[in-house]
Amino acid sequence: MQRRAAFCSALIGVALVTLTPAFAQTASTPAAKMDIAGVRIGMTEAEARAALRAFDPSMRIIRTTTRYNYSPGEGRPEQSTPEFFDRLEVRTANGAVDLFTVYFANPPGEARVVAIERHNLPHTQNPPTQQQFRASLTAKYGQPSFVGEGEIVWEEAGKPRCSFSRAQNRPVGGGLTRERLFPTLSQAQQSRTSILTLPADIATCGQVLSYVHGTYGPVTIARASLLDMGAIWAADMRTTAWVNGLKAEAKRKADAQAQAPKL
């Protein structure tokens, strides 16, 4: 299935102020502490809008819909699902800078937040030092699962560590995006050589929060993402089944209308 173009990515203290990679042996961040700009996984559209308005009432919030294209096959014309609510795109008041994208589960499930991505965390005046930046994050979210050069990752407590990379021996945070997550998980499920360590039921995976930032001098720009890996997997599996069902029904109807040639 294809979308249209509208659907367009001891640790505390010394470890936090050094660039030496370190990770915890278990995920330890409660889901209740994981948010970006007040937006949490599982929120409705109204709840997400209210959180964003409380964070910065000057931001421009754009409601974006999309649809899936599918084909009955055998050269027949392409068809589309009905349009549905997909995400909130958040920009500066003048619309010049993309700030956040809040993604929601697609049909046939309920539209609730499954991911938040913060594209720009600019500090144009008096930017924080590296130590101040990381200390602020630790004060808000608690002890991270991983601290490395330019990246900090938190993983949801009590859930499988689905973002843990066997090849890199560390959690992967900044390398995961809403758009790339489902294909990445699908490939990992099918591959014995996958870099990710996944449980038998991917839907049991938890939330992963990551901040990626510059490493030279004061932190002048950074980006962040919060993904519920299990919720995204489950929602996208349901959506795939939905679209495949529409495709099969379209083929059935087209086959029923086919006419034998006059010879």
pLDDT in tens, 26-65: 667 999 999 999 999 999 999 999 999 999 999 999 999 9
Per-residue pLDDT at 227: 97
pLDDT tens readout for residues 177-232: 999 999 889 888 887 556 777 888 999 999 999 999 988 889 988 999 999 999 99
**What band does 235 get if pLDDT is binned at 50, 70 and 90?**
very high
**What are the boundaries of each domain within the chain?**
9-246
- Please report which confidence band the pLDDT of residue 13 belongs to, taking 50, 70 and 90 as the band edges: very low
Structure tokens, 50: 């209210």
Say what the pLDDT of residue 126 is: 87
Q: Is 181 in contact with 232 (CB distance < 8 Å)?
A: yes
Identify the pLDDT of residue 140.
Answer: 95
Give the per-residue pLDDT at 194. 65
How many whole angstroms separate alpha carbon 94 and alpha carbon 84? 26
10 and 197 Cβ atoms separated by less than 8 Å: no
Query: Can the peptide bond before residue 108 be classed as cis, meaning omega within 30 degrees of 0?
Result: yes
The sign of the torsion formed by the CA atoms of 22, 28, 33, 39 equals positive
CA gap 107, 16 in Å, rounded: 41
Which pTM value belongs to this model?
Answer: 0.86
